[in-house]
Amino acid sequence: MKKLKATEHSEKISFYAAISAIYFMCMPLSIVPLPGGFSLLKFLSIFCGGALVLALFIGEETEIRFNILHLFIGLYLIYSISSLFLLSNENAWVNLRGIIETTALLYLVTIRVYNQREKKLLIDSWLIAGIITVAAMFISGVGVGTSERLTINIGGGSEDPNQLCGYFFAPMLICMDRVSKKSKIGILYVILMLVMIYISFTTGSRGGLVAIFGTIVTYIFVVVKGVYNKLKVLIVLLLVFAIFFSVLFPLLPESVRERMKVESVIEDRGSGRFDLWEIVYKAITKNNKSLIFGYGLGSTTDILLNAGVYNTVAHNHWLQIWCDQGFIGLMLFLAVLLIGGFRSLSDNKIIAVSLFGMLLLSMSLTLYASYKPFWNILMMSAMNYEGVFNAEK
């Protein structure tokens, strides 16, 4: 408890910040199933949300601050609710409920103003989430179907291997940041990076790996200051990748290594994604109404099934949201993502670059409310901190 209290050299960590950090740490538990269709993370979200509500009215005085991202996520929520006029079936309600629940939690976590010590705790919570994911892979990693691709399994629930890569964006960047700042345990951060890269390859997710490498390169050019420091970080990364490709890559199953070749992408048409995109795009451009307003939340699932494709998502968030919510919904969601990224550039560049990684990942995945790594990164980008410049102030 002493670590949470203020000292002459540091600020106090509030109960509010501790609860928010616990929520971020528990992100991998979103795959753990509970009776009634709940996940363990959803149960914890209800607990954390209730605790945050109480903390707003009971205990220490709390400064509340709204910002422009709160405005646009609210507009997106209102527009999502209005989409029930287009489609109001069970699938639409499930999607809408997820957006409402996630948005409510986003507001609860991010309207408080955090001090710099609390900010560090929240960042560290992502590193812990990454370590939990790594531990889950080594303790109970499982294969996907009949393939040799691997993913995590916790409590009987498995994560989609493509989605698993998104768990590592922020933890990898935190490791890079600590190494660049000459941490005393820098070698441990390098080892953790190697392990996360190896796990990402074992998933066989080509889109996920592209997003990871794009995130790392962006970090070097956006976050690292000075030519000398950029070169230093680049040399460390080249050393990490040299070790990986000479020692760890040969240990991967041959089928996974083959998936990484360009010829494999062309042959299987991006695991069938090219066909999905074509079907969804044709539906979007069918008439002006579908272009502007879409067909309603969750409608992409019905469109794909009616086309004889047994897939429930478009595997491209931007095509799916355009199909479900039209050009208006597409622009609102894009505004939320861009505002989150630009806000974080001033006070939390690791989160800004992680959000860019999610943008890359969204080209091959759908990021609706059930995919917690994206929404949790978005929450981090909506945070208000003391002692930094805020454009909204």
> Residue 6 carries which DSSP code?
-
The secondary element (H helix, E strand) that includes residue 231 is: helix 227-243
Q: How far is CA 281 from CA 212, 292, 315, in A?
A: 27, 13, 12
Phi-psi bin for 14: left (phi > 0), alpha (psi -120 to 50), beta? beta
Question: In terms of Cα–Cα distance, which of 306, 382, 310 is closest to 347?
Answer: 382
What pLDDT is attached to residue 243?
A: 82
Rounded Cα gap, residues 307 and 302, in angstroms: 8
pLDDT tens digits, one per residue of 301-313: 999 988 888 778 8
- Where do the domains of the chain lie? 10-385
In the predicted model, what is the mean pLDDT of residues 147-155?
A: 83
Residue partners of 236: CB distance under 8 A and separation at least 6 = 179, 180, 190
pLDDT in tens, 340-392: 999 998 888 999 999 999 999 999 888 888 899 999 999 999 999 986 544 34
For the cut 60, the answer to whether the pLDDT of residue 3 exceeds it is: no
Tell me the CA distances in angstroms from 249 to 125, 206, 355, 367, one per residue in order: 29, 15, 27, 29
Span 325-341, mean pLDDT? 96
Distance CA 253, CA 204 (A): 10
Which conformational region is residue 35 in: left (phi greater than 0), alpha (psi within -120 to 50 degrees), or beta? beta
What's the confidence (pLDDT) of residue 5? 57
Query: pLDDT, tens digit, for every residue of 199-248?
Result: 998 888 888 888 998 998 898 888 777 788 778 778 877 887 788 788 87
Decide which of 336 and 248 is more confident: 336
Tally the C-alpha atoms within 13 A of residue 191's C-alpha that lie toward its C-beta. 5
CA distance 229 to 214: 19
pLDDT value of residue 383: 94
State how far the Cα of 356 lies from the Cα of 47, in Å rounded to an integer.
30
